Amino acid sequence: MRPRRVLLNLAALGVLAVSVFPVYWMVLTAFKPTTDILSETPTFWPAHPTLEHFTTAVGTPGFWTFWGNSLSITVGAVLLALVVALLAAFAVARMRWRGRRAFILMVFIAQMAPWEALLVSMYIVARDTGMLDKLSMLTLIYFMTTLPFTIVTLRGFIAAIPPELEEAAQMDGCSRTAAFRRVVLPLLAPGLMSTSLFGFITAWNEFAFANALIIKNQADRTLPVWLSSFSNVFGTDWGATMAAATLFMLPVLAIFLVLQRRVTSGLIAGAVKG
């Protein structure tokens, strides 16, 4: 029994190291003085931490613009998806109507939509409808890519709330909307949370469409696209590149840390259902 335990823990340490090291290395490089980065033998501990790379990254022309672009697109897409999905999920989970089954199938198919295969035609569609080089087009696309998942997840959450609760509220004199707002909505909070986090992460990270649809106006680029061209921006300044990557990762990491349990269980529940 003894050697097996040791082996198991060694394997666990291996998995842990492989998971954590790349991210650790990014943060470490971001805090290392340039002389340490350029040294032949790497150091694995921040002996002389410095903020100079962060200053360089933040001071790059346009940094705050790209940051703002990413943030506004992401928040817009998440809010839009939440509202639209909530309406549809309620109709699916709580009402009987002709075409409901077909609608659910459509949502499931949309969830598997091959977005990467639509890069070319989305470019043409955006061009034809006057949406090329517009940040609002990216908001709409991210809204649409996260919408099916949000509907499916929220539908599950709404279906899990007994209709009797709403009926009781309506019996006590609430209107249907008020019953929804006061009874269902608070119970939906975990579902809203996990879907909006999923949406946030998807939109914040998206690269392909942002890369293909924002062409002329370089000030309208998003953070991922900007980061992908780091060698043009920073040259071989790996410290600044890693500082920029760290800053880009920070919001996502904050979300994961604050709501870790909920994110993972929510995403897993959604994924298993979907």
Partner 1 sequence: MSPVPAAPQATRPRPRTPEATPPPRPPRRFRPADLWPYLLIAPTLAGTAYLLVYPLVRSVVISFQHFRLGELIRGGAAFVGFDNYAEVLGGAEFWTVVRRTLVWTAVNVVLITLISTLVALMLPRLGRWMRLAVMSGMVLTWATPVLAATTIFQWLFQSRLGVVNWLLVTLGFDSFKDYTWFADGNSTFAILVALVVWQSVPFAALTLYAGLTTVPTELYESARIDGASGWQIFRSVTFPILRPLFGLIVSLEVIWVFKCFAQIWAISKGGPDEATTTLPVYAFQIAQSLHKYDLGSAVSTLTVLILIAVLITHLRRMLKHEGEQA
Work out whether 110 is an interface residue with partner 1 (CB under 8 A). Answer: yes
Chain positions 205 to 244 lying near partner 1, rule: CB under 8 A, are 205-208, 211-212, 223-224, 227-228, 230, 238, 241-242, 244
> What secondary structure does DSSP assign to 114-153, as a single string?
-GGGGHHHHHHHHHHTT-TT-HHHHHHHHHHHHHHHHHHH
Nearest approach in angstroms of CB 159 to partner 1 is 5
Work out whether 181 is an interface residue with partner 1 (CB under 8 A). Answer: no
Phi, psi of 253 (to 5 degrees): -65, -40
Work out whether 90 is an interface residue with partner 1 (CB under 8 A). Answer: yes
Work out whether 116 is an interface residue with partner 1 (CB under 8 A). Answer: yes
Work out whether 125 is an interface residue with partner 1 (CB under 8 A). Answer: yes
Work out whether 258 is an interface residue with partner 1 (CB under 8 A). Answer: no
Among candidate residues 203, 200, 206, the one with its CA nearest the CA of residue 119:
206
Kindly tell me which residue out of 65, 71, 256, 262 binds partner 1, with binding defined by CB under 8 A. Answer: 256
Work out whether 8 is an interface residue with partner 1 (CB under 8 A). Answer: yes
Work out whether 140 is an interface residue with partner 1 (CB under 8 A). Answer: yes
Residue 183 is given by DSSP the state I
Work out whether 154 is an interface residue with partner 1 (CB under 8 A). Answer: no
Q: 26 or 187, CB closer to partner 1?
A: 26
Nearest approach in angstroms of CB 84 to partner 1 is 4
Nearest approach in angstroms of CB 187 to partner 1 is 13
| CB of 169 closer than 8 Å to CB of 175 | no
Residue 235 is given by DSSP the state T
Instruction: Give the interface size with partner 1 as a residue count (CB under 8 A).
Output: 98
Chain positions 70 to 89 lying near partner 1, rule: CB under 8 A, are 83-85, 87-88
Kindly tell me which residue out of 149, 180, 200, 248 binds partner 1, with binding defined by CB under 8 A. Answer: 248
Work out whether 47 is an interface residue with partner 1 (CB under 8 A). Answer: no
Kindly tell me which residue out of 78, 151, 214, 233 binds partner 1, with binding defined by CB under 8 A. Answer: 151
d(CA 273, CA 45): 43
Work out whether 114 is an interface residue with partner 1 (CB under 8 A). Answer: yes
Q: 13 or 219, CB closer to partner 1?
A: 13
Work out whether 97 is an interface residue with partner 1 (CB under 8 A). Answer: yes
Packing angle, helices 185-205 and 260-273, rounded to 10: 90
Among candidate residues 231, 211, 234, the one with its CA nearest the CA of residue 221:
211
- In which element (H, E) is residue 240 found? helix 238-258
Burial of 251 (C-beta count, 10 Å sphere; 0-12/13-18/19+): middle
Work out whether 121 is an interface residue with partner 1 (CB under 8 A). Answer: yes
R_g (Cα) of the chain, nearest Å? 23
Work out whether 22 is an interface residue with partner 1 (CB under 8 A). Answer: yes
d(CA 114, CA 141): 13
Work out whether 117 is an interface residue with partner 1 (CB under 8 A). Answer: yes
C-alpha distances in angstroms, 121 versus 87, 110, 136, 210?
29, 17, 17, 14
